A and B are shown apart, each in its own frame.
Chain A
Amino acid sequence: MGRLSLAWRVLTSGELAQQLAELVSGAAPVAAIEQPMAADPEPAPAVRNDAVTLLAALQREARLVDFLMEPIDDYADAQIGAAVRDIHRDSQTVLDRILGLAPVIDQPEGSVVDLSDGVASGRLRLIGESGPEQTSGNLAHHGWKAARCELPTWSGSFSSVDVVAPAAIDVG
């Protein structure tokens, strides 16, 4: 985006103007802008927080945000259950593709885990008290790990930096 077109967008986009005002006053939102723009000859590209990008993918493909944000107290279990099936399938597809979720310990829960090599920090969590000589335990939860983190690359502008799902408008 050239400087002229950026200036034009500041003039025409209330949201962008607001963001710039917040930036100047030091109240910029979390994900917005990391470097002061005025000092830079080329305006810094808009950067979106990865959490927003992941949520956007889950909403786009599985409508997970619609589901989580909807008050469901008044619905019968069966109706919720029916809606969940597709959301579940599609969310799983997204998590699988982007994060490649897999167990930290690929063993059946309840099976014996060998601890003789020590406990790697953060990968295992011990429950209860162990004796000094204890070299094994029972797997209570296999844990989860992300085999990768291949988030979509987002290249939008400041006006959509906080958008998880755009508003849809029917124009005929």
Chain B
Amino acid sequence: MSARYAIGIDLGTTNSVLAFASLESDTPLVELLSIPQLVAPQTLERRESLPSFLYLARGGETEAQEFDLPWAESRDFAVGEVARSQSSENPDRTVGTAKSWLCHSRVDRHQAILPWKAPVNMVQISPVTASQRYLEHLVAAWTQAFPDAPIAQQQIVLTVPASFDASARELTREAALSAGLPASLVLLEEPQAATYAWLSSSGDDWRKSLTAGDRLLVCDVGGGTTDLTLVAAGAEDGDLQLRRQAVGNHLLVGGDNMDLTLAYHVSELFREKGTDLDPWQSVSLWHSCRAAKETLLAADGAETQTISVAGRGSRLVGGSVSVEVHREDVARILVDGFFPECDITDQPSRQRVSGFQEIGLPYEADTAITRHLAAFLQRQTEEDSPDSPAPTHLLFNGGVFKSDRLQQALLDRLSHWYGDAAPRILGGTHDLDYAVGRGAAYYAWTSQRGGIRIRGGTPRSYYVGVETAGLAIPGTPRPMSALCVVPHGMEEGTEADVPSEEIGLVIGESAGFRIFSSSSRPDDVPGDKLLHWSPDELVETDSMETTLNSDGDEGDDYVPVRFQSRITELGIFELSCVHTTTGESWKLEFSVRDDAEV
């Protein structure tokens, strides 16, 4: 049975969305699925998005069936709005940023480690399982709405940050398959999905907005992450084509950091008035600050706004305290903290200055998105001709940019760097909250029915750590070189034999390799061997391993191999060791790094 629906799933750090379009209609009409979810125990309501939170229930709550759903009984956990509302009062039972953990290769993402550092005897869950639970909920919501169109038979596109490396993508895929999504699932980078959403809203008019030689900068600031992507327009065979040129590093800074920073400022104002807020009040303050950020920083925002925090008990007016917050202070704090003035030659600071960071996750030391952007653009300049052109167009995505002042702050930096050549905002309608899900559904639709595709291949190059030959010095590890196995931009559905010296692997034993990736070395080709690199250039990810159970009985206890890499049609990175004479091959699987924290 062929697919009837194109489905796009945005598995977000803080919110998840499912959008869909009928494949039977001749134009892609993308709709959002309203998602039934618990908003309080035993209270089911439909919402446009599913907060990506998971609450681990108490025994009594499970027994009383407080978190049961129409499709699940005796649930010992809950996801969605009800879980999010528990995060303030029950932090040791609530999992928040599971997605940010998926790309943190310093921990084993299959281990039950969340909530991070929960007290002993508390139940924990792995980042992969938490992600699976969110997706299972979306699948169940789909099944409720469309019982006649099983999700496993539909065309599914799931989005991931462009900055996710191969192992984070593989873990996302694993969670998706466990949740009942089909193996034909395609992963799409979020900034590309936002671009597709723009393409779908512009229809054929997009060719009037972009011309050959244009370079589109997609700046996607989500709740927890910032994702940068550069898309180039070029003429191929007389038609305009889009090509994803580069993606930024994984930046753990986003809208939540801004809301927290603002909440910290406001809680200081309360302290000056002699009021210390309890944790529950702090979270309610956080929500008020998010709203204030949007209203105060709107183009026609008021000069001041009163922010109040209600009393904890039933006395609301009597227990409430309030402070005046000034628009200029808020703008200064957020612009200085996240969009400060800087030169395009500036680099992000490595010195950790900010006070907030959740222990465990490697949050950015420098929260200045403008400096990360400068470094990203600077890298593109170095690689092309000395004076590579400025981006010509700009596409914003993410709820942060509902604040006009923050859009303006970023535009100001770009015009400071590029003067008259600064990029213009792409015209058309922008749905900052749902563009990724909508764009994914549109992409899924065009993959069946035809339409413009952004090409680009792998956003990173990949390397295997190989010990260099030479005399061993006792007590000293052999120096390691990095062998390029996948070049930047390797297209889906292609493979590469990696030229190298023969590598000897012992039969019957597990062979493990350290794996590195780079988003800043577009010129390396398979077989290139790097002896030195800076920590910024090559980032280590999960190791890969395989066990060699050879059928051949040549009497040798080791086999000579070389590497062969492959990017599947679905964009999955595969690496194999191939026997140099018999051609027998062993596929490597991702595993956990030796230096992972336990």
Q: A residues within 8 Å of B by Cβ? A: 53, 56-57, 60, 63, 66-67, 69-70, 72, 75, 79-80, 82-83, 85-87, 89, 150-157, 160
Contacts and interface: CB of A to CB of B under 8 A. Distances in A.
B294 to A, nearest CB: 11
Interface stretch (B40-48, B540-548, B570-578): B40-48
Contacts of A83: 308, 310, 316-317, 320, 322
Given A67-B316, A79-B320, A155 B39 contact: no
B40 A60 contact: yes
B425 interface: no
Given A56-B43, A86-B288, A72 B310 contact: no
Contacts, number: 68
B39 A82 contact: no
Contacts of B41: 156
B317 A70 contact: yes
Interface of B: 39-46, 64, 68, 288, 291, 306, 308, 310, 314-318, 320, 322
Nearest 5 Cβ contacts at the A-B interface? A82-B322, A152-B45, A156-B42, A66-B316, A153-B44
Contacts of B44: 152-155
Nearest to B41: A156
A153 B43 contact: yes
A82 B306 contact: yes
A85 B64 contact: no
A56 B41 CA distance: 12
Contact of A70 (B40, B45, B46, B316): B316
13 contacts: A67-B316, A70-B315, A75-B317, A82-B306, A82-B308, A82-B320, A86-B310, A89-B291, A150-B45, A150-B46, A152-B40, A152-B44, A160-B42
A63 B45 contact: no
A85 B302 CA distance: 14
Given A153-B45, A155-B68, A60 B39 contact: yes
A66 B317 CA distance: 9
A67 B317 contact: yes
Contacts of B46: 150
B308 A86 contact: yes
B314 A157 contact: no
Given A83-B322, A154-B44, A160-B42, 8 more contacts: A56-B43, A70-B314, A70-B318, A83-B308, A86-B288, A153-B45, A155-B43, A156-B41
A152 B316 contact: no
B310 A63 contact: yes
A155 B40 CA distance: 11
